[in-house]
Structure 1
Amino acid sequence: MSQLEPIVSGPTPAPAAELPEYVRALLDAADYLPAEQRDTLVRAWRVGADAHAGQMRKSGEPYITHPVAAATVLAEQGVDIETLVAAILHDTIEDTPLTREDIAEPFGATVADLVEGVTKLDKLQFRDRQEAAAESFRKMMLAMARDLRVILIKLADRLHNMRTLGAQSTEARTRIARETLEIYAPIAQRLGMNLIKAELQDLGFRALHPWRHAVLARRIRTQPVVRREALAKIEAQLAQKLGKEGFQFRLIGRIKSPWSIYTKMRSEGKTFAQVMDVFGFRLVVPSVPECYHALGVVHSAFKPLDGRFRDFIAIPKANGYQSLHTVLFGPYGSPIEVQIRTEEMDLIAERGIAAHWSYKHGGAVSGAQNRAQSWVANLIESQRSTGSSLEFLENVKIDLFPDEVYLFTPKGDIMALPRNATTLDFAYAVHTDVGNHAVAARVDRKLVPLRTKLSSGQSVEIITAKSAAPKPQWLEFVVTGKARTGIRHQLKQLEHEDAVQLGHRMLDRALESLGTSLDRLPSARLESFIADHRYPRLEALLADIALGNRMPAQVAQALAHRGSGRDTDDEPQSRLPQGEQILITGAERGVITFANCCMPIPGDEVMGYHTAGRGIVVHRIECTNVAEYRKSPDRWVSIGWDREVSGDFHVALRVEIENRMGVLAQVAAAIAQADSNIEGVEYLDRDRNISVIRFDISVSDRIHLADVIRRVRRLAVVVGVQRM
């Protein structure tokens, strides 16, 4: 309260009877606050009302009714006084003459910070999930990282706007509703605020698809009498069993919303009757032991369905949600879904992080807030490494719509990951360095590869090696944003290092043809050239050479020139000496690529072509495109294979096979037996007797390829096979 003391001693507020009805509604919702703090709310309203004087909403009401209504939404969640005052004043800096200092002086710096944070968010316009929205979304996450209460105010602001959406144009209603369903409702869910999430979804659905919403809402209201009677009988049977056991409890029948029914009908392909053919109950008891005791009681009342029990108390969801979930055989042939939780868990399930301020004892609630803070912190860490706002939004989207699996670390800690997550996703979730150096994993003590998909309840241990590094193929099977960002960031680092090394070798060879080398160049001349061409350091110049953006011969001519460090684009070009080859080891990333037109592999006679932005592109000497490249001899690079080449190289086979059942599987098996992976299969031609198929495979060298061809050719169903 120290920051609010200056205003507590101000003028005596007006009696409640003299206040407008909307202010009285706020005070009623905030009855959990001490009297002096409720007086503070009245003073905040007066400041806001004076600031917004003359401003009206599109509905014709005074504008101040909107921020007070947003504060009332938050008061119903039981948040602290600072959040409520900031909610009342959240539009003042943006839309009135009031400044940050005008708010900080009477209400404290924290309130001013919150108002300023929300003001910045109000400038954001979400149009869709594309680039413009993505940059806005990044800013919103940064604001949340500074103080989670900023997003609470924004969610309340959005909820009241959705409640009063009728005054907007059709186009605005559609845009705001879509934005609510795609951005704000998922954020409310991720923060555990299910009451606000559910209302945002329902209002968004009604605005976006009014006819569908009306039909579903009417059908829910007009459920057959027999169903209502069945629900009452089941409730009575459960209550009787629990009462006999001496439980103190609340048993609430759950009613499905139009949005939840609509999404289930669409995602699961069910009819309305199939979705509604489920009875749902929430059972609230005083303590955790009683949750498990109550589970036994409901299982004695109705038989449980096998495999449908979930323990979210022992393993909470990522947003802090805790409950026991079970599904029972109903007496009318319909399943009964029962959620069992404590009062504290129920509060967290409905209010999420907002419960932190209204239910401080017990520790579990602040744990929900810590989880939310941790989630936001992870997003912020990820956004520092992301290349674009769009990529950042894609990562967040994965985290906002998880169908989670729960895993155990070797120490017994629980970790939540999205469905289809692999052991490599787990490695990056532990720490980015663990992911970058991962080589394999143990799942339930069995050795598995990094691409292995994980299931709930498994114990995962990551095996690392200092020499290991991310591979581009990893991006094909990871699903979490953190793993994707970590891999891309590390690959860029490795590509840069490889480019610097290759550029160094290329420039040195060009300089040697002119009788000098990098080591022998006067440092002043080298520094002058780097400065003249606006490179921050030598490494940037070398990487640019490797990537084909500068020709090594041109740079060598300029550096060897005795005068200045000027460029010599108009001087005769010098090619790399053919006898001094650059050798391919297979470890080069991003600076040496292999042409798709001829798909060279170790053992082929090759040449390199220096291509702007791509570095050296390697072709086979017999490639038909080589003739075209001979017209630019300054871009040729003498290149060959190192004695020890590692890695897999792509090659294509043209296979003619008899057109019979099962022959494709026979060819695929023969390729697999030769330890080669099939990357793609394509039918090139097909008639009644013969099929011509292209197989894209990976091999280590020409000897390996010959073995694959030999095995395929041996098959009786194969008419012919050749490399393409």
Structure 2
Amino acid sequence: MDTISGLITRVKGYHPNSDSGLILRAYAFGATMHDGQFRHSGDPYITHPLAVANILAEQQLDDATIVTALLHDTVEDTRASHADLVREFGPVIADLVDGVTKLTKLQLNSNETKQAENFRKLFMAMSRDMRVILVKLADRLHNMRTIKSMKPEGQQRKARETMDIFAPLAGRMGMQWMREELEDLAFSVLNPEGRNSIIRRFVTLQRESGDVIDKIATDIRTELDRVGIVGEVRGRAKRPFSIWRKMEEKQIGFSRLSDIYGFRVIVATEQECYAVLGAIHQRWRAVPGRFKDYISQPKSNGYRSLHTSVSGRDGKRVEVQIRTRQMHEVAETGVAAHWSYRDGERVENPFAVDPAGWVSSLNEQFDSAQDHDEFLEAVKLEMYQDQVFCFTPKGEVVKLPKGATPLDFAYAIHTRIGDACVGAKVDSVRVPLWTRLRNGQSCEILTAEAQRPQATWMDIVVTGRAKSAIRRSLRAADRDKFIRLGTELARVAFDGVNKRMSMKALATAARELHLQDADELLARLGSAEIQSRQVIGVLYPELATRDSDEIDARAAIVGLEGDAAFERAQCCQPVPGERIVGISRRGKGVTLHAIDCPVLADYEDQPDRWIDLHWHGGTHPAIHTVTFELAITNDAGVLGRVCTLIGAQKANISDLEFRDKKPDFYRVRIDIDLRSVEHMHAVRLALEADQDVVTIARVRDRHRAA
């Protein structure tokens, strides 16, 4: 078990000038505050912050980070306050503890709206001081190491959150060792049988072929000796989760998985890295497409290394990573290297990325996101994906996520270039816009002034920046379209009550409906967010009321017992005049179906739920929505004329959806509010008579059943 004296000794080992008294005081304060508290395992609670501090000491971090680890749960779980910490340890440490406390309270696995907001808070805390997230990651790592003492449902929740959030975050910060351990610990909870099967196969493989790792490592050392390079060779089998993920991605079994062993060669200089690469490729055959040069093109988190895969001893495929000592330190500790100490001095590792830089870029990017889906999409793309490096025709490097396309490349250069993109050349060859770019390729974007983003582009791009730009453009284009359609709907509505439509009338209605202006009113009318009868209702309430002889909607059905609730089935949308039957919803009211609705077949063996009903014979209000799908010619004014024809029949359009737009025609679904089956036939007949309406069909879909 960790002890405070062991922690102080460990810190003194890399930081002789460490303030041991401060660390000891923090431990004593934490022990006092947590006195009487115990973990799920039964251990005294203070063992947890002490273990977290030791994890951070292994990364050779500064005193402030170590002290924060010892105190990180005091404000949340004890009577200690922020003011107490300021008085005892100063404002810097008190603010660090406060930051960790706030992160602990974030519910990162909640609904998307709240999750997006919490992610914003997470990155804001990181931008203030990255050490906050380092302590939080160490806290999560120790919790995962001791997760077996939790209740099963708590284990599942913690493991899923770790796999989805904290492991990718550790990887994005360059702390690959932590990412791999977090993933494997979560894997052991989420899929214990899968993990155990991988381990069993490893044991069988080792029994059959001996210690392959030692043999291959010896072969690599022999090649280093041959070229006169002094270096350190490390080999290991990849972690079970890493192997499982590759099996899932490639859809292959363990026996067909080749590169399950990984080796690292650590040398003194960058020149020796390339010399070792040459020696290894001379000895073994390189696997095509598996070489990556992260030295000349580093990852955005500072990672530098040469990666290659070769067919090693007995034809076994192995991955070899070649790097210098400084590169290795950054590869292991990531942004933590920014605060690392050696012999009492802050280390100035030339490869360590200033963590404030990329976190600030995240915040800037996310601040521009216009909705929660867009923000979460950007988070996941930024945190979870490897990068590829492509070149402009002028030789400038553009970094993109793996799987990016020429369209992503265009938007990465400038939004204007992306919007105007009509084609692309990759390595001087014309390619489709959905082509996946690879490392080192040169990409040239072809543009045209008249081009505008297409809705299909959303399925092509993968970057948050491209998706955001396309959405903005489509929203602007849709707004113009909806304003035109709304204008036609409004005109029909005004004509229906013998009033003249004017911009003044529309502006008055917009004000009454608490909208910005007349254009906003028309756009919402065209997008079916509001209905034309609402507009008429606020301007001419006396004209918007239903006829006095209309049947009240509650009395529309004959045969119901008492005041039983009912609703029309959306699968068949019966209207007054059609034969209907009721299906009891077991204490939740009755659903009305047309007698020929195919869904009724599902209730043939439940005769006790059938209720004999029929419509009242009087005049019904136009509130019964029926969905039609029309194919109409793609000519100017056709859609407006269709809307006019519907309005002329005293019917209201409550929703409109474009389904399939082609150069010569397009399909559109229209929800129309009707009085009766006769009213429906009149509307349908008027539409069928129009020469530009190619087909019209009533939509009856069993998948929409209530």
Q: Does the alignment reach a TM-score above 0.5? A: yes
Q: How does 1:81-230 map to 2 (within 5 A)?
A: 81-127=63-109, 133=115, 135-220=117-202, 224=206, 227-230=209-212
Distance across 2 between alignment mates of 1:255 and 1:108: 46
1:159 shift after superposition: 0.3
Q: Sort the Cα spacing of 1:118 and 1:467 in 2 relative to 1 into closer, same or farther, 3 A.
A: farther
Distance across 1 between alignment mates of 2:489 and 2:87: 65
Distance across 2 between alignment mates of 1:379 and 1:302: 44
Residue deviations 1:196-217 (CA, integer Å, cap 9, x gap): 1111122112223334434433
Residue deviations 1:436-482 (CA, integer Å, cap 9, x gap): 44444443345556444323222224455666543222212112233
- 2:632 maps to which residue? 600
Q: TM-score normalized by structure 2?
A: 0.71
Q: How does 1:209-288 map to 2 (within 5 A)?
A: 209-220=191-202, 224=206, 227-275=209-257, 279-288=261-270
- Give the SS at the match of 2:19: helix
Instruction: Check the 8 A contact 2:488/2:643 in 1, yes or no.
Output: no
Report the AA paired with residue 253 of structure 1: G
Residue deviations 1:384-441 (CA, integer Å, cap 9, x gap): 42422x5533443344442543212344333332333221112223344543444444
Distance across 2 between alignment mates of 1:193 and 1:500: 51
- Give the SS at the match of 1:112: helix
1:281 shift after superposition: 1.8
Distance across 1 between alignment mates of 2:195 and 2:468: 39
1:632 has 2:650 as partner: yes
Report the AA paired with residue 375 of structure 2: F
Instruction: Check the 8 A contact 2:488/2:644 in 1, yes or no.
Output: no
% same residue: 38
- 1:567 maps to which residue? 539
- 2:348 maps to which residue? 361
Distance across 2 between alignment mates of 1:279 and 1:88: 37
Distance across 1 between alignment mates of 2:146 and 2:404: 41
- 1:543 maps to which residue? 523
- 1:481 maps to which residue? 464
- Give the SS at the match of 2:539: coil
Q: Sort the Cα spacing of 1:517 and 1:630 in 2 relative to 1 into closer, same or farther, 3 A.
A: closer
1:132 shift after superposition: 5.7
Report the AA paired with residue 157 of structure 1: D
Distance across 2 between alignment mates of 1:516 and 1:261: 68
- 1:533 maps to which residue? 513
1:30 has 2:2 as partner: no
- Give the SS at the match of 2:321: strand
Instruction: Check the 8 A contact 2:302/2:353 in 1, yes or no.
Output: no
- 1:385 maps to which residue? 369
- Give the SS at the match of 1:201: helix
1:456 has 2:439 as partner: yes
- 2:25 maps to which residue? 43
Instruction: Check the 8 A contact 1:422/1:450 in 2, yes or no.
Output: yes
- 1:405 maps to which residue? 388
The aligned length equals: 576
- 1:672 maps to which residue? none
- Give the SS at the match of 2:542: coil
Q: Which moved more, 1:275-284 or 1:336-345?
A: 275-284
1:329 shift after superposition: 3.1
Report the AA paired with residue 353 of structure 2: S
Distance across 2 between alignment mates of 1:106 and 1:47: 9
1:630 shift after superposition: 5.3
- Give the SS at the match of 1:280: strand
Distance across 1 between alignment mates of 2:175 and 2:654: 62
Distance across 2 between alignment mates of 1:376 and 1:143: 12
1:192 shift after superposition: 1.4
Report the AA paired with residue 85 of structure 1: V
- 1:77 maps to which residue? 59
Larger RCO, structures 1/2 (Cα 8 Å, 6+ apart):
2
Residue deviations 1:36-73 (CA, integer Å, cap 9, x gap): 43332222222322332322212222222212221221
Distance across 2 between alignment mates of 1:511 and 1:268: 61
1:29 shift after superposition: 3.4
Contiguous gaps of at least 5 residues in structure 2? 342-346, 546-626, 656-660, 668-690, 695-706
Report the AA paired with residue 373 of structure 1: V
- Tell me the C-alpha RMSD between the 2 structures: 3.8
Residue deviations 1:572-631 (CA, integer Å, cap 9, x gap): 79xxxxxxxxxxxxxxxxxxxxx972221135994548xxxxxxxx5797xxxx6xx654
Distance across 1 between alignment mates of 2:426 and 2:315: 39
Distance across 1 between alignment mates of 2:393 and 2:87: 52
1:321 shift after superposition: 2.3
Q: Sort the Cα spacing of 1:244 and 1:99 in 2 relative to 1 into closer, same or farther, 3 A.
A: same
Report the AA paired with residue 52 of structure 2: A
Distance across 2 between alignment mates of 1:393 and 1:164: 30
Q: Sort the Cα spacing of 1:33 and 1:598 in 2 relative to 1 into closer, same or farther, 3 A.
A: same
1:551 shift after superposition: 6.3
Instruction: Check the 8 A contact 1:329/1:336 in 2, yes or no.
Output: yes
Distance across 1 between alignment mates of 2:185 and 2:534: 65
Distance across 1 between alignment mates of 2:179 and 2:531: 58
1:427 has 2:410 as partner: yes
- Give the SS at the match of 1:78: coil
Instruction: Check the 8 A contact 1:425/1:483 in 2, yes or no.
Output: yes
Residue deviations 1:667-712 (CA, integer Å, cap 9, x gap): xxxxxxxxxxxxxxxxxxxxxxxxxxxxxxxxxxx99x9xxxxxxx
Distance across 1 between alignment mates of 2:365 and 2:136: 19
Q: Sort the Cα spacing of 1:33 and 1:276 in 2 relative to 1 into closer, same or farther, 3 A.
A: same
Q: Sort the Cα spacing of 1:517 and 1:202 in 2 relative to 1 into closer, same or farther, 3 A.
A: closer
- 1:648 maps to which residue? 663
Distance across 1 between alignment mates of 2:463 and 2:666: 31
- Give the SS at the match of 1:486: helix
- Give the SS at the match of 2:543: coil
Contiguous gaps of at least 5 residues in structure 1? 1-19, 559-565, 574-594, 610-617, 638-645, 653-701, 706-724
Report the AA paired with residue 371 of structure 2: G
Distance across 1 between alignment mates of 2:209 and 2:111: 41
Q: Sort the Cα spacing of 1:314 and 1:215 in 2 relative to 1 into closer, same or farther, 3 A.
A: same
- Candidates 341, 346, 362, aligned match of 2:323: 341
Instruction: Check the 8 A contact 1:134/1:393 in 2, yes or no.
Output: yes
Q: Sort the Cα spacing of 1:179 and 1:516 in 2 relative to 1 into closer, same or farther, 3 A.
A: closer
Report the AA paired with residue 540 of structure 2: T
Distance across 2 between alignment mates of 1:272 and 1:479: 30
Q: Sort the Cα spacing of 1:35 and 1:536 in 2 relative to 1 into closer, same or farther, 3 A.
A: same
Residue deviations 1:228-257 (CA, integer Å, cap 9, x gap): 455434333322331243322101112222
Instruction: Check the 8 A contact 1:379/1:396 in 2, yes or no.
Output: no
Distance across 1 between alignment mates of 2:189 and 2:533: 65
Instruction: Check the 8 A contact 1:323/1:340 in 2, yes or no.
Output: yes
Residue deviations 1:53-96 (CA, integer Å, cap 9, x gap): 32221222222221222122122112333332222222222222
- Give the SS at the match of 2:170: helix
- Give the SS at the match of 1:385: coil
Distance across 1 between alignment mates of 2:652 and 2:155: 61
Q: Which moved more, 1:143-152 or 1:494-503?
A: 494-503
Q: How does 1:667-686 map to 2 (within 5 A)?
A: none
Instruction: Check the 8 A contact 1:499/1:547 in 2, yes or no.
Output: yes
Q: Which moved more, 1:138-147 or 1:23-32?
A: 138-147
- 2:684 maps to which residue? none
